[in-house]
Amino acid sequence: MQESLIIPENHPRAESLRVRERLVECLRKGIVVEQGLIAHGRGEAFDYLLGERTTVYAREAIRASVAIMLLAEHPVVSVNGNVACLCAGDVVRLASLLNARIEVNLFYRSYEREKAIEMLLKEHGAHTVYGVGDRASMSIPELMSERRRVDRDGIYSADVVLVPLEDGDRTEALVRMGKKVIAVDLNPLSRTARSATITIVDNITRAMPLMVETARELKNAARDRLNGIVKSFSNARNLEGSLAMIRSGVADRGRGGDDITLDSRGKQVVGVMDDDG
């Protein structure tokens, strides 16, 4: 963090400013690339339109995602620079609760970045980190970017892959390989959001801790119950809901209104949700 920068606690954008500082620090450490800052800016714009809160639709998608990962035989969490920087600890906690493997997969790939991200994940308690160096010896068919390189024991053989901040090409390619893909993307219109099996339209900084909380809650749930949660989920319907939130939020705030409501735990939510979403 720049020594001169003090973020007052009561600044309305304090959290958002702290996240920016963290990304800049990760850029200096070689974890995040310059392009990652641009990608984050795009995410911030969508987050602003969503009211910077976790909607009921995101909660429903988180629940379905955790359920599908608990039902999976070989779930994998894919980690890029931004994800490692913003939520390494939650990635490790989530993977441990879901019995999932963690794989580094970068669009702007370099061995130094792979190692830096592996080290960060290990500092947060990860045991084995897949996809680093020669481990990423397999290729996702029909994919040209560096993201095609995957670990035989990780993404290549996974049945469910969690891909926060992903590009559309790899999401589509993974789906073509017959995998279930969970995306976290603040843009409900992106190709990633549209082609994933489940899309969580939320900021990863809010979504990942909620995934951990939900994994703790559902970890011992019966398979029938988990199947029920997955079966009742429709990604198309959920994305429509997120888009409707953006539309109504923009209309409300355009009129100077503020429709934020708090749930029983004091978290900002909108709408009402049943037990299983």
Q: Where do contacts with ligand PTJ occur on this chain (CB under 6 A)? A: 33, 35-36, 39-40, 42-43, 46, 80-82, 106-108, 165, 167, 184-187, 190, 203-205
Contact 121, 113 (CB under 8 A): no
Nearer to ligand PTJ by Cβ, of 202 and 270: the residue is 202
In this chain, which residue has its C-beta nearest to ligand PTJ? 43
Q: How far is CA 120 from CA 34, 52, 83, 117, 203, in A?
A: 19, 27, 11, 5, 21
* Min CB(264)–ligand PTJ separation in Å: 25
Q: Shortest gap between Cβ of 174 and ligand PTJ (angstroms)? A: 14
37 vs 273 by CB, closer to ligand PTJ: 37
Nearer to ligand PTJ, 77 or 184 (CB): 184
Instruction: Provide, rounded to whole angstroms, the least separation between the CB of residue 97 and ligand PTJ.
Output: 21
Nearest approach in angstroms of CB 79 to ligand PTJ is 9
User: Which H, E and C letters describe the chain, residue by residue?
Assistant: CCCCCCCCCCCCCHHHHHHHHHHHHHHHCCCCCHHHHHHHHHHHHHHHHHCCCCCHHHHHHHHHHHHHHHHCCCEEEEECHHHHHHHHHHHHHHHHHHCCEEEECCCCCCHHHHHHHHHHHHHCCCCCEECCHHHCCEECCCCCCHHHEECCCCHHHCCEEEEECCCHHHHHHHHHCCCEEEEECCCCCCHHHHHCCEEECCCHHHHHHHHHHHHHHHCCCCHHHHHHHHHCCCHHHHHHHHHHHHHHHHHHHHCCCCCCEECCCCCEECCCCCCCC
- Decide whether 78 or 226 has the Cβ nearer to ligand PTJ: 78
Q: Using CA atoms, how far apart are residues 187 and 82, in angstroms rounded to an integer?
A: 16
Nearer to ligand PTJ, 221 or 243 (CB): 243
Q: Which is nearer to ligand PTJ, 148 or 226 (CB)?
A: 148
Q: Taking the complex as a whole, how short is the minimal distance between the CB of residue 17 and ligand PTJ, in angstroms?
A: 14
Closer of 82 and 214 to ligand PTJ (Cβ)? 82
As measured in angstroms, the least distance from the Cβ of 222 to ligand PTJ is: 31
Minimal distance, residue 62 CB to ligand PTJ, in Å:
13
